[in-house]
Amino acid sequence: MSVTSQFTNKAQEAQDAISKASVNAAAKASSIAENVSARMDETMDKADAALATVAQQSREVAEKARTATEGFRTTVEDAVREQPLTALLLAVAGGFLVGAMWKGRS
């Protein structure tokens, strides 16, 4: 076998090895891309579920706050109707305290 044919054989072997490595790298890259895509889908599904849970809990808290506010308003209105003089005196006392605190800041 001549040097030229040996060189040609070695060059062909190197070219074949490079082609196999290229195919293997492409397959590995494709596998990694599919894995990343699947994990991204899982993460997005979990994030959507968490967001839906938070939204529902926020609606429930807002409803409870609205109910509590309505109850407080009703209680204050009833107290003012039943004891208007006491309510007036409390309002005056509250105004006096706020005025004193405001003056103390100046």
- Give domain limits for the chain: 3-105
Q: How many residues does the chain have?
A: 106
C-beta separation of 80 from 87 below 8 A:
yes
Query: Can you state the percent helix, strand and coil of the chain, rounding each to 5?
Result: 95, 0, 5
User: pLDDT digits over 57-70, tens only?
Assistant: 999 999 999 999 99
Task: Please tell me the distance from the alpha carbon of residue 66 to that of residue 60, in angstroms, as a whole number.
Answer: 10
| pTM score of the predicted model | 0.50
Tens digit of each residue's pLDDT (9 = 90 or more) over 70-102:
999 999 899 889 999 999 999 999 999 999 898
Backbone conformation region of residue 83, classed left if phi is above 0, alpha if psi is from -120 to 50, else beta: beta
